[in-house]
Amino acid sequence: MSPKILILGSGGREHALCWHLKKTNIAVECAPGSDAIAELCPTWNFKDFEDLSQKIKDKKITEVIVGPEKYLAEGVSDFLIQKKIKVFGPTKTAALLETDKAFAKSFLFKHKIPTARSVTAETAKELTTEIKKFLPPYVIKASGLAAGKGVWIGSNQKDAIAFGSEMLKEHASLVLEEFLKGEELSYFVLIDGKHHKFFGAAQDHKRLLENDEGPNTGGMGAYSPVPLLNPQLQTKIEKKIIQPVLKGLEKDSIFYRGFLFVGIMVVADEPYVLEFNCRLGDPETQALLLRLKTPLTEILSQLESGSEKRVEFLPGVSLNVVIAAKGYPENPGKDFELVIDRVPKECFVFHSGTKRTQKNWLPNGGRLFSINTIQNSLIDCQNAIYPWIAELPFLKKVTYRKDIGVKAYRHLRALN
């Protein structure tokens, strides 16, 4: 049976996944999708997982790829597996690596995978006692999913305790962690039980403002490949992180099938796990998929058959810049129209939070869309994207970072 893939989700990552599948001549549908995705492929809604599974069967979908963590946390994979539907996305238990930071930290310590020293606190009193054993800046993380708002970093102990107490109203526990000073990297693998494949790395820009200032966001732009990831560092990541993760999953009898996105902090050439995500990143996916040469469906079949073939990428560099509504992440504006046209050659727009009117697009979320390109160099990418952004008729209503990719220059200079 020829493959027909369902992408679950509705954001920029899912838009890019549908674009890639269509480009590689694979039948694709998306649920619930978005107005932008509907311009590429059929989209449809579902009431609950029962309804979803019925529609998957009716529409003769051969495999489901799960986009956001929300569905994984709700157990969509467990449900679909029970219904004998093939799904690329881990079960609820395996997804605890992302959805429960206390679980992830204990997994990391148990399997001796490098990560920041940390303790788990269940009450404000415990936090007050434990924080004295750490030096500032303090890192406090809500244990459960918190849509990018679950991490606080700062040097004031009182503020740290206040944030922690607030978080404990909604989360059973929190993680207090040693601050790691270094450079971050998003490292992606696909896992099918014992097999895995490297799916590329990207560098995201999580803070809202240039020079990594301002509040944390879902991600304001990414580029790939990452010159920080030299072959020696990649060998260390595979040996000290990926292999022990795979062995740890096996020892703990956790079957994992899906993407694994490891957030890594590189400190003095040594990789430390900051967090696991049991899915692809957004906007990292957009950067990775522009470079991807081997079709995703082929990678999935190779992974399943245990083939050692490597995932191939196109030469060149990809980069994207996220355009967010002014006021994002706290209070994004929505009273303006987005005229998205005259997109330069070799550039692609992936929508995250928009809806269609008859003529134009309207905001439907904080991060609106990203403009993406693949070129010979980072500078060529920046030159292709930034002049177009500067001419956007709704420029005054949006915010974006003007320094996406700049951090890479230092490593490129070191390589030359």
Query: By the 8 A CB rule, do 87 and 62 touch?
Result: no
How many residues are present in the chain? 416
Which of 9, 90, 164, 281 contacts ligand GLY by CB under 6 A? 281
Which of 46, 49, 179, 313 contacts ligand AMP by CB under 6 A? 179
CB of 12 to ligand GLY, least distance (A): 10
CA–CA distances in Å: residue 87 to residues 147, 196, 206:
24, 16, 29
Query: By the 8 A CB rule, do 170 and 96 touch?
Result: no
Residues binding ligand AMP: number (CB under 6 A): 14
Could you say whether residue 100 binds ligand AMP (CB under 6 A)? Answer: no
Could you say whether residue 151 binds ligand AMP (CB under 6 A)? Answer: yes
Side-chain-side CA neighbours of 142 within 13 Å: the count stands at 19
Q: Which of ligand GLY, ligand AMP, none is residue 108 near (CB under 5 to 8 Å by kind)?
A: none
- Pick between residue 244 and residue 263 the one whose CB is nearest to ligand AMP: 263
DSSP helix/strand/coil, 144: coil
Q: Which residue has the CB atom at the shortest distance from ligand AMP?
A: 275
d(CA 45, CA 39): 15
- The C-alpha angle with vertex 261 and arms to 180 and 412, in degrees rounded to 5, equals 65
Could you say whether residue 204 binds ligand GLY (CB under 6 A)? Answer: yes
Q: Which of ligand AMP, ligand GLY, none is residue 257 near (CB under 5 to 8 Å by kind)?
A: none
What are the residues facing 265 on neighbouring strands? 184, 272
CA–CA distances in Å: residue 289 to residues 4, 82, 119, 295:
19, 30, 37, 10
- Pick between residue 216 and residue 243 the one whose CB is nearest to ligand AMP: 216
Q: End-to-end distance of the chain based on CA atoms, in angstroms? A: 49
Q: Which of ligand AMP, ligand GLY, none is residue 219 near (CB under 5 to 8 Å by kind)?
A: ligand GLY
The piece of 82-90, 179-187, 246-254, 389-397 that touches ligand AMP (CB under 6 A) is: 179-187
Which of 29, 192, 275, 282 contacts ligand AMP by CB under 6 A? 275
Could you say whether residue 184 binds ligand AMP (CB under 6 A)? Answer: yes
- Pick between residue 175 and residue 340 the one whose CB is nearest to ligand AMP: 175
Query: By the 8 A CB rule, do 177 and 116 touch?
Result: yes
Question: Residue 160: exposed, middle, or buried by beta-carbon count in 10 A (0-12, 13-18, 19+)?
Answer: buried
- Residues within the interface to ligand AMP (CB under 6 A): 116, 139, 141, 151, 153, 177, 179-180, 184, 206, 216, 263, 274-275
- Residues within the interface to ligand GLY (CB under 6 A): 204, 218-219, 277, 281-282, 284
